[in-house]
Amino acid sequence: MKRLFQIKTSTDSSEESRIHEDILGVDRPLQIYLEHLAPQADAIFSLKAQGEIEIYSQTHQRIETPAFVPLKQLPTITLVARTFSDRLNDRSLEITFQDEIGHPLRQVHLKFTCVRICLDVDADRDGVVDHNNPHKGSWKWGREGHGAILIVNTDRDSAHFESQSDEADRLRGLLDLQVSSFMIVRRAGLKELPLGCELYLSVSQETAQRICIYDELEEGGNKLISPKKTKAKIKETDRDILLAVKGLSYPDIDFDGLVEITLSLVKDRETIYSDRVIFRVAPWMMTSNTLSPLMVFVSRLSQGDNETFIEELRKVAAQANVQLDPVPYEYHKDDPWMQDEIEIGYTQAPGKFIHVVLDSPRDRGLDHLTNRQLISSSFGYVIRKSRHSATKNPYAAAKLHA
């Protein structure tokens, strides 16, 4: 997308010279309307470029700084820089306007500092953040597809937190980083941005409800973007900046999983240019019931009504080399319908995998089993609520949903 060059000029032909400084993003076209710079519509002009800078016509033809041509013949030009500056204002374009008989009318001298700034992700899904991958701003399914993947971090990395919402406000060191996706803010060229320039990371209000973004990972993480913050200034540095991204919610009927993140270079409140990446949040996947079991859970009823059943089940589990875990009364309140309360699944991204248990909408005696007993640093937890009331009678529940 081309950026439009804007400069306030006077139509007073007595104004003979004009100097203007601007920022040019590497490989980011800048469109200049010469007719807006000229003192009169029937003027002729010439161009003189210094430094590495390319000039193109409206028809995308390369222009090699021509001799004087009529303004009506070439009313618009586009500038493109392919390399970044190592000093301020090292590129320039001199535009000289004359009338039809050769009298000078105005000279406009444009000075440019060229910067290269980009936001990178693992768009090819090999587990490594790419360098300016051309597909980073789009997403396509499949083995031959492209686009970065983000997983929801719903495990418990500390025994001191009562819920995952407590942990969402923090980045809990290595355990959180292992299931985070990463972005890199890259900058090349000048050690410091030109005066008046700042970098901002931003998302929509909707996207902010779905993710958290952190920098300062070595110090435990500083939250840049969160449900309460849609925009953040990127600290001034000449080094690449590694950012961690955590998902907060799975794709659902009201969320397709796509999140868009934008990095903008801003000067005096004007966006010079921006770079955009897209993640898709990996869905919760139900584990196939044809896989070999690892553990079997069963409620141990308070009156011992199912002790015989538990012992018989233990024998079967032992034959399958599977551990049986009887759940005590305080976690189920005599609710025996384990399969109606939890469903084991998983979520994954390149190089990342975590088991996630779904706490079903059926809230009865086993409602707190998942939160208290199953969640750990390697086991996540997701809840779905229902508009219907729960009952301990499975036949009544079936009738309710019929």
Tens-level pLDDT at each residue, the chain (402 residues) = 667 766 654 445 455 678 898 999 899 899 999 989 999 999 999 999 999 999 999 889 999 877 889 999 999 999 999 999 999 999 999 999 999 888 999 999 999 999 999 999 999 999 999 999 999 999 999 989 999 999 997 654 333 333 344 445 556 666 677 888 999 999 888 888 888 899 999 999 999 999 999 988 777 778 999 999 999 999 887 789 999 999 999 998 889 999 999 999 998 888 888 999 999 999 999 988 888 888 888 888 888 888 999 999 999 999 999 999 888 888 778 888 877 777 888 999 998 888 888 877 676 767 666 655 555 556 777 777 655 554 444 433 333 333
Q: Model-level pTM?
A: 0.81
Residues linked to residue 242 through DSSP beta bridges, in sequence order:
184
Residues linked to residue 32 through DSSP beta bridges, in sequence order:
77
CB 86 within 8 A of CB 190: yes
pLDDT at 370 (0 to 100) = 63
pLDDT at 162 (0 to 100) = 37
pLDDT at 333 (0 to 100) = 80
Residue 10 CB partners (closer than 8 Å, separation 6+): none
Domain ranges of the chain: 3-116, 121-281, 285-401
Residue 301 CB partners (closer than 8 Å, separation 6+): 329, 334, 336
d(CA 286, CA 284): 7
Helix and strand totals (H; E) in the chain: 8, 25
pLDDT at 109 (0 to 100) = 95
Of 157, 270, 134, nearest to 220 (Cα)? 157
∠ CA 73-77-81 to the nearest 5 degrees? Answer: 155
Count of beta carbons in the 10 Å neighbourhood of residue 365? 18
pLDDT at 314 (0 to 100) = 94
Q: How far is CA 7 from the centre of its chain?
A: 34
Equal fold, 3-116 vs 121-281: yes
The CA-atom distances, in angstroms, between 24 and each of 28, 35, 107, 243 are: 7, 21, 21, 25
d(CA 347, CA 383): 15
CB 89 within 8 A of CB 111: yes
CATH dotted code for 3-116: 2.60.40.1860
d(CA 365, CA 342): 12
CB 347 within 8 A of CB 380: yes
Residues linked to residue 328 through DSSP beta bridges, in sequence order:
none
Q: Give me the CATH topology for the region 121-281.
A: Immunoglobulin-like (2.60.40)
**Residue 140 is encoded by which pair of tokens?**
């396509």
Go through the chain and tell me how many residues it has.
402
